[in-house]
Structure 1
Amino acid sequence: MTSDIEQIHAVVTDVEAAMETKDVTRLLARYAADVVKYDLAPPLRHTGNDPEGLARWFAGFDGPVYYKVTDLEITAGEDVAFCHGLNRMSSTPTGSPEGFTLWFRMTAGLRKENGTWLITHEHTSTPFHMDGSFLAATDLTP
């Protein structure tokens, strides 16, 4: 039997794999139906799962979407947990001559439902320059 920490780590690893293969069904299986997300993209808050929107987003990239969670830290209780890490995403937008790499921050809350850990809250963000330009600091790396 695996520990809660190992099970949550497996959730994160499965999210990485689903992102790389653009597998909407596999990805959404790791999220609770009532998930609340504070994503990089507008609007300020997303609620619930949106398979059509996710499929459209994946379609905006040529080839895989490389996605890796680094520096992952997990804290788990009996039926709630949270984790945080630094995420790296790389891909090539459809029609673009070159790809991009973006590092961003992630915090996730999880809940154990019927013995399975599901992501119920996810917050991702990029820092921005505090010099008055308010430009996203997308050039940062750990």
Structure 2
Amino acid sequence: MASVQHGPTAQGTATRDEQRVRAVIEDRDRAVADRDAERFVASYTPSVVVFDLAPPLRRPAAEVLDPGGKRAWMAGFEPGIAHDTSDLTVTVDGDVAVAHGLVSMTATPKGSARGFTVWFRATLVLRRSGDTWLVTHEHVSTPFHMDGSFRAAVDLVP
């Protein structure tokens, strides 16, 4: 998507839209840290398509929109989950935005003495609804080793 804009008004709109999209992504990161499943799933459109880290290949919208699933996932970790998006690039064109970046998640599984940090890639497509931007497509992934082992490369750090 390329957005051709001219003049201060058009540029100001693009900047505001980009800031709003970034705010949605930052709020999703905070929602994970706050263990607020309802706030996290509120960032999705009703017809959202999610390609998540965990199976299946495509997560059904009804499952994604149910805060119970996200709440159960969050409950699997001790308090203190960190979820941060970096290297974020946002492109806005009209009522559609594409954002991609790297996400780090640091957490300790419930009952475990040791925590972990994992980095993964995230791409979001958002649609404007009034003044609100909502995620209509989410794709997260980790690279895998191409040496025949097909192991996820969860040891990578930018």
What is the TM-score when the length of structure 2 is the normalising length?
Answer: 0.87
Which residue does 1:78 correspond to in 2? Answer: 94
1:34–1:47 contact (8 Å) kept in structure 2: no
Which residue does 2:127 correspond to in 1? Answer: 111
Residue identity in the other structure for 1:55? R
Kindly state the Cα deviation for residue 47 of structure 1 after the two structures are TM-superposed.
Answer: 2.7
Percent identity over paired residues: 50
Kindly state the Cα deviation for residue 16 of structure 1 after the two structures are TM-superposed.
Answer: 0.8
Residue identity in the other structure for 1:134? F
In structure 2, what is the Cα distance between the partners aligned to 1:115 and 1:140? Answer: 37
Structure 1 unmatched ranges of 5 or more? none
Say how many residue pairs are matched: 142
Structure with bigger gyration radius: 2
Residue among 26, 46, 57 paired with 1:13:
26
Give structure 1 regions of 4+ aligned residues with deviation exceeding 3 angstroms.
none
SS of structure 1 residue aligned to 2:26: helix
SS of structure 2 residue aligned to 1:61: coil
Residue identity in the other structure for 1:47? P
Structure 1 vs Structure 2 CA RMSD: 1.2
SS of structure 2 residue aligned to 1:41: coil
Which residue does 2:45 correspond to in 1? Answer: 32
Structure 2 unmatched ranges of 5 or more? 1-12
SS of structure 2 residue aligned to 1:93: coil
TM-superposition CA deviations, 1:60-118 (whole Å, max 9, x none): 00112200000000000110110100000010000111000000000000000122100
